[in-house]
Structure formats: structure tokens, C-alpha cells
Amino acid sequence: MRRPRVLVADDHPQVREALQRLLQPAYDVIGSVADGRTLVKSAAELQPDLVLVDVGLPLLNGLEAGRALKKLMPQVKLFYISMDSDPVIAQEAFRIGASAYLLKSSIAEELLPAIEKAVKETSAG
């Protein structure tokens, strides 16, 4: 079975690098981008299975980028990451079709289990 392909989108280089290091043992990180417009363009070209999206991306915020991605690739799994615990933002992320909404403060503990759960649900269904 092939490893899920992941695209990372965050405007902070250190966060992108940390996410890549966290993911690479189990997933194929096929790219990383720093803004929402580049995310949509890159995802259309690279066809990831999973996308990690920072809510606060520049040029096109993560929620708008996620909407665009779900229109282009309805099967893509979106994992929102944010510093903001505002339930309204989290609700909107799930309305768009997010598989998870994770706070950056707890991402080291919660990201891999959330991805594993979504991957199992996809392969089981």
C-alpha cells in the first residue's frame, strides 16, 4: 500500500519544517507552501491525499483555500492547524469538510493520531 501524500501550508518556515519532520517517517510530504493561492495551485498540480492548512495563511486564508480545494478535489482530506481556539472558526472548518481542526500548541501530540484516523476511515470506506 502506498504512503499517503501530504502537502503542508503554513506561512512560517519553521512550522513547515517541523511539520515535515513530524510527518516524513510515515507519510510522503510532497511539498510545502506559504500562502493560500500557492496552496490551491500546488494542490491541483501535486494531487495530495492530505493537506495541512494553517487557518491564517496570507493572500487567501486557509478557510477560503480549503473551500477551493474541496471544489477541485472533493476527496482530499483537510487538516486545519491554528493558534486560534475560536469555536466559530473551527465550526467553519468542519463545515468546509475538515477531517480535523488542531491547535498548534497541541499539534505534536494530536496530528499523527488524527491523520491515522482519517486514513483508516478512507481505507475502510
Entry pTM: 0.93
Asked if the model's pLDDT at residue 21 lies above 70, the reply is: yes
Confidence bin at 20 (pLDDT 50/70/90): very high
HEC string for the chain: CCCCEEEEECCCHHHHHHHHHHHCCCCEEEEEECCHHHHHHHHHHHCCCEEEEECCCCCCCHHHHHHHHHHHCCCCEEEEEECCCCHHHHHHHHHHCEEEEEEHHHHHHHHHHHHHHHHHHHHHC
Q: Which domain holds residue 76?
A: 5-124
pLDDT-derived band at 1, boundaries 50, 70, 90: low
**pLDDT at position 121:** 79
Q: 114: domain CATH number?
A: 3.40.50.2300
pLDDT score of 11? 96
Q: Look at residue 118 in the predicted model and tell me its pLDDT.
A: 86
User: pLDDT category, 125, cuts 50, 70, 90?
Assistant: low
Per-residue pLDDT band at 120 (split at 50, 70, 90): confident
- Dump pLDDT digits (tens) for 36-56: 999 999 999 999 999 999 999
Residue 124 pLDDT exceeds 80: no
pLDDT tens digits, 52-76: 999 999 999 999 999 999 999 999 9
Specify the number of domains making up the chain. Answer: 1
